[in-house]
A and B are shown apart, each in its own frame.
Chain A
Amino acid sequence: MTERQGVSGFFLDRVLPVGVVVLVILMLWYGFAVLLNSKFELDQAARAGTEISTRDLVAKTMAQERPVLPAPHQVATELWDTTVNKKITSKRSLVYHGWVTLSSTLLGFLMGTLLGIGLAVAIVHSRVLDKSLMPWIITSQTVPILAIAPMIIVVLNAIGISGLLPKAMISTYLSFFPVAVGMVKGLRSPDTMHMDLMRTYNATQAQVFFKLRWPSAVPFLFTSMKIAVAISLVGAIVGELPTGAVAGLGARLLTGSYYGQTIQIWTALIGAAVLAAILVWAVDIVSRIVMRNMGMAR
């Protein structure tokens, strides 16, 4: 398919396809909201002994205080209310909670990326480490994170580490994996001819690494980092659950479920999704800039 030019091209190629999908999702969402919330309204009406018209029923399902499934506009209103209408420092501000989660996400992502790169470099340069480390790296990801997260929090608390770091550690635990696997592949990606060329120059191992292996691995690194940043966010949210729900998007999810505040839960979910999208997009932007500077974008 050829790319169309100009404003109409932008509309046809980008806005229209995405818009159609969003529209379909919204319609389904409203449909399910009516379907799932109507039982409560029917019960209420039956208890009061009144008849309820379909029109009223539909209207009421979309305006419940604690719906089974909140309607999109309820979530949107709550989202607006908790981001724009609240001070950022307020405990009721989603921006505040989002920042708490974001900071541990970013710290965990940074540590995970560095750990992943470090492991990959070690594995690529040592047969022994390749044989001994790789199985453990894979095993580490077969353990359910929900089981391991409370233990990390508790153990670190016991040795006096609390706050940001334990949550970031859970993000690290999840995010180092795609980076390690991707970078092992990336650092091994130079073809035989490129490697032979370095051999004919009598290049040292360090020169082979910095002049050949590392640049070859950069595209792999960014692909891994896109996955890593998204699961870092998941790790940070999971890490907030066992801390007693003090702050963060995970805390909003937890308090929401304590008090049956479904609108708050859904708002936090949407907030997390938006945050993840922004993070992945940011990594993608950096990736494009780096690739262009390396002459690999055409």
Chain B
Amino acid sequence: MNAVIEAKGLNLTFETNDGPVHALSNIDLTIENGEFVSLIGPSGCGKTTLLRVIADLEQPTGGTILVNGVTPEEARLSRAYGYVFQAAALYPWRTISGNISLPLEVMGIARSERKARIESNLELVNLSGFEKKFPWQLSGGMQQRASIARALSFDPDMLLMDEPFGALDEIVRDHLNEQLLKLWAQTQKTVVFVTHSIPEAVFLSTKIVVMSPRPGRIHEIIDCDLGADRPLDIRETPKFLEIAHRVREGLRLGHSYDDREPAES
């Protein structure tokens, strides 16, 4: 195992009209190759910001971060990761296969190769047969699956997911969580996953990073050693509940002074 993400003393302060906002404060985090790491915490704890820093969509104001041993920018330029947003963010004028083709076209991959990759990735997310459909013809869950296929299409080593199932109902969410685990087992990719659902984090992760707000920081890192085989009913086992309890305690402790702080907008 080797570290794919190494952050040391990472800081990010946004200058706003209401003064500086400490989105990230003194973040130390190492993520090993092939791990499934969840970032969990209340709104404003900087979990999405941290993911965006890894993706080189935000610039840190202090500290160091290495992705695959290089800066996030170099990692982005070498197309090291696929990013899945909160919304599916499919291009409405492209069909499902057109959307999955998008990163491949940008990266200059030949047509025949694109066709093969579209096919195999649609199969991976169980969307075979929907190639010709436009996004609006698909349900929210299917759209998000298509966006995962899009992120995987160029075979990046790493998958960065920003609350990908946050907008979906619980039944669809459970189903997609199961599929995501299978996918992770199949592809052996490193996944960094932002969520604010405790069961989701425990069910999916090998490591749970509990974060707390103002300033955004890591409160606790909890190992989640439930093993590789995780059926949905693992969520009723004592071990699962115990980890979930620890995460909840961590969130509560990290959050305890919240009453004295002004409500976040």
* Distance in angstroms between the alpha carbons of A1 and B154 in the assembled complex: 47
- Name the B residues within 8 Å of A298 (CB-CB): 136
One digit per residue, 1 when the CB lies within 8 angstroms of any chain B CB and 0 when it does not, for chain A 105-122 equals 000000000000000000
Q: Is B193 an interface residue (CB 8 A)?
A: no
Closest CB in chain B relative to A178 CB, distance in Å: 22
User: Which one, A196, A212, A215, A295, contacts B83 given CB within 8 A?
Assistant: A196
Are A296 and B93 also in contact (CB < 8 A) when A196-B57, A201-B107 are? Answer: yes
Closest CB in chain A relative to B34 CB, distance in Å: 21
Q: Is A211 an interface residue (CB 8 A)?
A: yes
19 CB < 8 A contacts A-B = A193-B85, A193-B87, A194-B89, A196-B83, A196-B85, A197-B83, A197-B85, A197-B89, A199-B57, A200-B57, A201-B102, A201-B103, A211-B102, A211-B105, A218-B93, A294-B93, A295-B94, A295-B136, A298-B136
Task: Contact check, B93 vs A202: say whether CB atoms are below 8 A apart.
Answer: no
One digit per residue, 1 when the CB lies within 8 angstroms of any chain A CB and 0 when it does not, for chain B 95-113 equals 1000000110111000000
User: Which one, B77, B81, B95, B107, contacts A295 given CB within 8 A?
Assistant: B95
> 8 Å CB contacts to A: which residues of B114-150?
134, 136
- Name the A residues within 8 Å of B105 (CB-CB): 207, 211
By secondary structure, the A interface counts as helix
**Residue from B55, B77, B83 whose CB has the most chain A CB atoms within 10 Å:** B83
* Number of A interface residues in the complex (CB < 8 A): 20
Are A295 and B93 also in contact (CB < 8 A) when A193-B85, A202-B79 are? Answer: yes
Are A215 and B91 also in contact (CB < 8 A) when A198-B106, A200-B81 are? Answer: yes
Q: Is A203 an interface residue (CB 8 A)?
A: yes
Kindly count the residue-residue contacts between A and B in the assembled complex, taking CB atoms under 8 Å apart: 54
User: Which one, B76, B87, B94, B136, contacts A200 given CB within 8 A?
Assistant: B76
Are A201 and B94 also in contact (CB < 8 A) when A196-B83, A196-B85 are? Answer: no
Closest CB in chain A relative to B92 CB, distance in Å: 6
Closest to A218 in B: B93
By secondary structure, the B interface counts as loop
Task: Contact check, B79 vs A201: say whether CB atoms are below 8 A apart.
Answer: yes
* Distance in angstroms between the alpha carbons of A197 and B93 in the assembled complex: 16
One digit per residue, 1 when the CB lies within 8 angstroms of any chain A CB and 0 when it does not, for chain B 58-101 equals 00000000000000000011010111011101011111000000
- Name the B residues within 8 Å of A199 (CB-CB): 56-57, 76
- Name the A residues within 8 Å of B83 (CB-CB): 196-197, 200
* Distance in angstroms between the alpha carbons of A298 and B56 in the assembled complex: 37
**Residue from A202, A212, A298 whose CB has the most chain B CB atoms within 10 Å:** A202
Closest to B105 in A: A211
- Name the A residues within 8 Å of B77 (CB-CB): 202
Closest to B55 in A: A200
Closest 7 CB pairs of A and B: A295-B134, A294-B93, A193-B89, A201-B106, A200-B83, A203-B106, A215-B93
* Distance in angstroms between the alpha carbons of A295 and B133 in the assembled complex: 9
> 8 Å CB contacts to B: which residues of A175-197?
191, 193-194, 196-197
Closest CB in chain B relative to A266 CB, distance in Å: 45
* Distance in angstroms between the alpha carbons of A188 and B3 in the assembled complex: 39
* Distance in angstroms between the alpha carbons of A192 and B79 in the assembled complex: 19
Task: Contact check, A212 vs B106: say whether CB atoms are below 8 A apart.
Answer: no
**Residue from A191, A207, A294, A295 whose CB has the most chain B CB atoms within 10 Å:** A295
- Name the A residues within 8 Å of B92 (CB-CB): 295-296
User: Which one, B57, B81, B86, B106, contacts A207 given CB within 8 A?
Assistant: B106
> 8 Å CB contacts to B: which residues of A192-226?
193-194, 196-203, 207, 211-212, 215, 218
Closest to B147 in A: A197
- Name the B residues within 8 Å of A202 (CB-CB): 76-77, 79, 106
Closest CB in chain B relative to A296 CB, distance in Å: 6
Closest CB in chain A relative to B55 CB, distance in Å: 6
Closest to A215 in B: B93
- Name the B residues within 8 Å of A198 (CB-CB): 106
* Distance in angstroms between the alpha carbons of A46 and B126 in the assembled complex: 91
One digit per residue, 1 when the CB lies within 8 angstroms of any chain B CB and 0 when it does not, for chain A 159-181 equals 00000000000000000000000
- Name the A residues within 8 Å of B89 (CB-CB): 191, 193-194, 197
- Given A199-B76, A200-B55, 14 more pairs with CB closer than 8 A: A193-B87, A193-B89, A194-B91, A196-B83, A196-B85, A197-B83, A197-B85, A198-B106, A200-B76, A200-B81, A200-B82, A201-B79, A201-B102, A295-B136
